[in-house]
Amino acid sequence: MELTRPASLAIPNLAGTAGRLADARFLVLLLIIAGAATRLSFGAMLGLGIDESYMVAAGRKLQLGYFDHPPVAWWLCWAAAKIAGSDAAIVVRLPFIGLFAVSTWLMFRLGSVLYNPEAGLWAAIGLNLSPVFSLTTGSWVLPDGPLDCALLGAAFCLARALPASPGRAWRWWLGAGLCAGIALLSKYTAVLTCAGVILFLITQPEYRRWLGRPEPYVAAAIVALAAGYILAWNASHDWASLAFQAGRGTGHRFRPFAPFAVWAGEALFVLPWIWLPLVVLFLRGIRVNVAEPEMWFQVCLSAGPILLFALISCWASRLALFHWAAPGYLMLFPSLGAWISRRPDRGFHSVKNGILATACLLLLSATVVGTEVRWNWVPEKWERMIFHSDPDLEAVNWTSFPKELAVRSLLQKPRLVVAGTNWRDCGKLDYALGGRMQVICLTNDPHQYGLSSPPAGADGLDVLVVVPFRKDGQLPSEISDHFRNVAALPPVTILQAGQAVLQLGLFVGSDFRAQPYH
């Protein structure tokens, strides 16, 4: 039995099934090309963000696993830098821009399988208009790029496997297992979508028969191999990564209204006028339940991320980051595409105008952000009046730092190690230095630096300590206690488009001794 496919009235000029599919494919290819060109331009203007700098720099040493997330995203940026011989921002972002192009195609194909080509087309367009997917997932060095692409691949393979006859379904089940395994090796939250597949098979009478067949269990075994790899790495590293991620959901007080703050943030990230229809469709899918298999399929895959992170925020010490639930909304775009494609002419024209306005808003926002980071043309007093800080500073590379060290004859000084006091600054420093000096992290929370560059390896050496600028010109005691002597140097100035935007305190400590931090 096939998944139901309601008729579409959206685009009258796509007449006939073959013609509709061919024309929709052509439009999606144009969308992919235009989107990739936009992301390449956007990615070339921005320096690496804090998380990106950290991943690229701390990941220069190829590892079997990493502290923050499973390894796929780290491997991708490492491979791009090795192949190109450069870790320039646009180079390490290329795999993620390419993955989003694949994600756009997979979204189109998923919508086409669940509904029809027009629904797939509008689903792909909606995906490209949502900033959390189009700009961040679609171009930045983050685990979400391979995660979302692999999840869409798994969902597409499942949509093909479920209505297929047992003899023809093997390749689709194997594809689903492979994609789900890659998703799990990209980010731990993929397990929520995998759990949704189990929920769908148990609750959907049409497809419960697959539970008596070997294909789903072979697919599950592939996913289990990926899970076993993750568990084995964690077991050999004192469960560092899993303990860190689990700790983000701990807390000691109940906050009943926190989920509403989380959902509000997610609405801003997705865009409110896209988020609201997705939520309405999600609630409708719960109401119709198994009566509409294609809608229930999407609800099962999306429910975990959307509901769990909001629920955890009720007691967690901090709100869930708003992009954590993005894979849940990702799975609802086919239903959004189907809803748009069913709109009558008058309603369709209003939707089309909204899509055009959103595209213009997205392009304008990307242009403003990109040019501001590149040329720093917005007056500082305006930024501080609106944001109370410099919001684009995170995307500025600290390239002026090694230049100042070179002027002071510190860059090639033997047996000199650079140290930051938090993993964020270490990532910025390490990326700017390009691997020319060892970087260690002097904190109880060094993240990947605690594994790839432990402070104990710098015992007995001189260390150039970089700290946030302090007016008293003193190195905090919890840092100075690591050294026999400490000497203050003139501060370092970080430049953006030739203008001073940040000062960093600089100290040289002699005879470093690694010890527990206060």
pLDDT tens-digit readout, 351-363: 888 888 999 999 9
When mean pLDDT is compared across 41-55, 62-76, 94-108, 464-478, the lowest value belongs to 464-478
Confidence of residue 59 (pLDDT cuts 50, 70, 90): very high
- Quick one: pLDDT at residue 191? 97
Structural tokens at position 86? 């450069």
What share of the chain in percent tops pLDDT 90?
A: 74
Q: Which of 488-497's residues contact partners 24+ apart within 8 Å by CB, and which partners?
A: 489/408, 492/400, 492/401, 492/404, 492/405, 492/466, 493/400, 493/404, 494/396, 494/398, 494/400, 494/401, 495/399, 495/400, 496/373, 496/376, 496/392, 496/393, 496/396, 497/374, 497/375, 497/376
443-474: b or e for each residue (b if 16 or more CB lie within 10 Å)?
A: beebbbbbbbbebeebeebbbbbbbeeeeeee
Judged against a pLDDT cut of 50, whether residue 150 lies above it is answered with: yes
Beta-strand runs (E) in 48-197: none
Confidence of residue 256 (pLDDT cuts 50, 70, 90): confident
- Quick one: pLDDT at residue 251? 75
Judged against a pLDDT cut of 60, whether residue 3 lies above it is answered with: no
When mean pLDDT is compared across 124-128, 219-223, 386-390, 498-502, the lowest value belongs to 386-390
- Quick one: pLDDT at residue 382? 76
Which residue reads 């994600």 in tokens? 103
Give the tens place of pLDDT for each residue, 13-46. Answer: 344 555 667 889 999 999 999 999 999 999 999 9
Mean pLDDT in residue range 399-421: 92
- Quick one: pLDDT at residue 252? 74
Per the CB < 8 A criterion, the answer to whether 336 and 286 are in contact is no
pTM for this predicted structure? 0.92
Per the CB < 8 A criterion, the answer to whether 100 and 138 are in contact is yes
When mean pLDDT is compared across 5-14, 83-92, 306-315, 389-398, the lowest value belongs to 5-14
When mean pLDDT is compared across 71-75, 193-197, 389-393, the lowest value belongs to 389-393
When mean pLDDT is compared across 37-41, 95-99, 191-195, 347-351, the lowest value belongs to 347-351
Give the tens place of pLDDT for each residue, 330-343. Answer: 999 999 999 998 87
Judged against a pLDDT cut of 50, whether residue 296 lies above it is answered with: yes
Q: Which of 248-251's residues contact partners 24+ apart within 8 Å by CB, and which partners?
A: 248/316, 248/318, 249/312, 249/316, 250/316, 250/317, 251/315, 251/316, 251/317, 251/318
Mean pLDDT in residue range 292-317: 93
Q: Give whole-number Cα distances, 504 to 200, 205, 388, 501, in Å.
A: 54, 63, 20, 10
Confidence of residue 348 (pLDDT cuts 50, 70, 90): low
Per the CB < 8 A criterion, the answer to whether 341 and 115 are in contact is yes
Per the CB < 8 A criterion, the answer to whether 132 and 23 are in contact is no
The answer for residues whose C-beta is within 8 angstroms of residue 285's C-beta and 6 or more apart is 292, 295, 296, 298, 299, 335
Please give the span between the terminal C-alpha atoms of the chain, in angstroms, as a whole number.
Answer: 64
Structural tokens at position 313? 């925020």
Backbone CA torsion sign across 430, 436, 442, 448 = positive
Q: Residue 226, Cβ neighbours under 10 Å: how many?
A: 21
Per the CB < 8 A criterion, the answer to whether 205 and 248 are in contact is no
The mean pLDDT value of the chain amounts to 90
Q: Report the C-alpha gap between 50 and 325 in whole angstroms.
A: 21
Judged against a pLDDT cut of 70, whether residue 500 lies above it is answered with: yes
Q: Residue 436, Cβ neighbours under 10 Å: how many?
A: 14
Closest CA to 79 of 93, 97, 99, 100: 93
